[in-house]
Amino acid sequence: MTERSGTEDGDASSILVSLNEVRRERLDLPVAFDRRELDQILRVYGRMVAANEWRDYAIDHMSERAVFSVYRRARDMPLFQIRKEPRLARKQGLFSVVGQSGAVLKRGQDLARVLGVFDKHLKLVDA
């Protein structure tokens, strides 16, 4: 049995689509982090809590993105946001880390590489 790519000449490459994303879009479910993604994020979070850099977090699941926000104190603005945005997966990358100012610090398809931005010692600088 041959696999067809949808064109007559067969030169176009097939596009792999995640079944979870198709189901989510069809059922209009919010975007969420899966177990492996949360494991990676919480590993970094635990390391930063142990270093006394972070003290609290929040997880938001919205229709277009999932956001893991980290805080120094619960009443503050988030220091960083780790975002999962499926609509940006092909153009800019599924995952991104956004700083307190709104600047994107790192973006990409591989969560482990994106979380690598925290391997460097990032600190909040009081102005």
Strands in 1-127 per DSSP E = 56-61, 66-71, 80-84, 95-99, 104-108
Domain of residue 101, residue span: 31-118
Does position 59 have pLDDT exceeding 50, yes or no?
Answer: yes
pTM, entire model: 0.72
Does position 9 have pLDDT exceeding 60, yes or no?
Answer: no
pLDDT at 81: 95
Note whether 30 and 65 are within 8 A (CB). Answer: no
Domain membership flag for residue 14: no
> What values do phi and psi take at 27, rounded to 5?
-90, 0
Domain membership flag for residue 49: yes
Does position 10 have pLDDT exceeding 60, yes or no?
Answer: no
Q: Beta 66-71 vs 56-61: how paired, if at all?
A: antiparallel
Domain membership flag for residue 8: no
